Amino acid sequence: MKISWAVLLRRIAFPTRSKASSFVIHPSGALTVFVLRDDHGDQLYALDLVRLSPDGEAVASTAFEEIPGPRENLFYDPDGGVHELPIDGPFKLGFNGHAVGVAGSDASDFRGV
């Protein structure tokens, strides 16, 4: 089995106070980068998905914003108590949060994990 590696010779800039927490290489060679964006400097991160072509060109960027549905905003404490988390907008990830994903067979397919 022969394995080939491609080298991306390009610098990609993300907004200030952002970090790329993970990425997925699609079968097409495209790359989806999970960018955690801290807009207010409070270490609460919104998630953006940035799609790059195999050549490193930015193709698309999408803010991944999800408002939880009924009973999806519950916190279970170690003693078995259930508490409702206050929701005032899309969930944000904390300073130690991360996101991962799995590429589908179609270049436009994306499934978060």
Using alpha carbons, select from 104, 79, 100, 89 the residue that is nearest to residue 46. 89
* 3-state class percentages of the chain: helix first, strand second, coil last, to nearest 5: 0, 40, 60
Enter the DSSP assignment of 72.
Answer: -
How does residue 109 score in pLDDT terms, banded at 50, 70 and 90?
Answer: very low
Using alpha carbons, select from 35, 38, 68, 65 the residue that is nearest to residue 52. 35
Average pLDDT over residues 7-22: 79
Asked whether the whole model's pTM tops 0.85, one would answer: no
Using alpha carbons, select from 86, 113, 88, 92 the residue that is nearest to residue 37. 92
Identify how many contiguous H helices and E strands the chain contains and give both numbers.
Answer: 0, 8
Enter the DSSP assignment of 90.
Answer: S
What's the pLDDT tens digit per position in 46-105?
A: 999 999 998 888 899 988 887 777 777 787 888 888 888 777 777 788 888 777 776 665
Task: Enter the tokens of residue 28.
Answer: 């097409």
